[in-house]
Amino acid sequence: MKGLLTERAAVACDVFSSLGAVTLRSQFGGFGVWLDKTMFGVVSDGELYLRAHDELKSRFLTYGMKAFIYTKRGIPVRLSYYRVEHSMWDAPAFLQHLANASLEQAVMLKRSLRAAESTGLRSLPNINNMMERLLGKIGITSPEQLISIGETEAFVRLKKMNANLHNRLLFDLAGAVRKCHEAALSYQVRATLDEWLKQNTYRWQKK
């Protein structure tokens, strides 16, 4: 890796060494700046960018820091990383302060996301990102809501929104409501759901 490091990346690691064991990993055509399992910076084309959201982003913008734009498949994508201005390299203490603020915010954001996952819909079996988005579109945003509404009513709402959704979705929802994997549903539950499907197809078919 050392032979591939740009001068800026090497200097960044040195400046941020007070934060801990900073490492670099290939990212966005350059390098991601990591501490433990948290990425808080990017080095690209000899420039360093620090991650920021909300109030910290506003602060960075007032310092004249420009957003990192990554070109993916010919399309420019603005990312939440902001360029460290050349004058900031002459003030290592200030640069360390910015990096520390960026790192702290990145760590807090990761914790918040994990907390949301542990209490949100994805805390239930069979609920992945796609399923969570689908349920959100029909107004179901929490485990309590899904369990209260039940798998059949949730399924009807989903099929009315998109009739092409596979019927297996009903069994995934049934497992989520019972807090078990779809494959662990009993024969009786499966038979009941199969019969329900036969009798209720008309509810989402176009007339």
pLDDT band of residue 65 (cuts 50, 70, 90) is: very high
Question: Are 43 and 12 spatial neighbours (Cβ–Cβ below 8 Å)?
Answer: yes
CATH number at residue 163: 1.10.150.20
Instruction: List, for residues 23-62, the tens digit of each pLDDT value.
Output: 888 888 888 899 888 999 999 888 999 999 989 999 999 9
pLDDT band of residue 207 (cuts 50, 70, 90) is: low
Q: Are residues 113 and 125 in the same domain?
A: no
pLDDT at 113 over 80: no
Q: Are residues 128 and 66 in the same domain?
A: no
Question: Are 69 and 18 spatial neighbours (Cβ–Cβ below 8 Å)?
Answer: no
Domain span at residue 195 reads 121-203
End-to-end CA distance of the chain: 63
pTM assigned to the model: 0.57
Number of domains, the chain: 2
- Hey, what amino acid is at 119? T
Q: Are residues 130 and 89 in the same domain?
A: no
Q: Are residues 110 and 161 in the same domain?
A: no
Question: Are 24 and 34 spatial neighbours (Cβ–Cβ below 8 Å)?
Answer: yes
pLDDT band of residue 6 (cuts 50, 70, 90) is: low
Report, as an integer, the average pLDDT of 173-179: 93
CATH number at residue 104: 3.30.1460.30
Helix then strand count (H, E) for the chain reads 8, 6
Q: Are residues 110 and 96 in the same domain?
A: yes
Identify the pLDDT of residue 129.
87
Identify the pLDDT of residue 40.
94
Q: Are residues 150 and 179 in the same domain?
A: yes
Identify the pLDDT of residue 17.
81
Q: Are residues 131 and 158 in the same domain?
A: yes
Domain boundary among 119, 134, 150: 119
Domain boundary among 119, 136, 169: 119
- Residues 6+ positions from 32 with CB-CB distance below 8 Å: 24, 25, 26, 39, 41, 42
Q: Are residues 28 and 94 in the same domain?
A: yes
Identify the pLDDT of residue 3.
44
pLDDT at 116 over 70: no
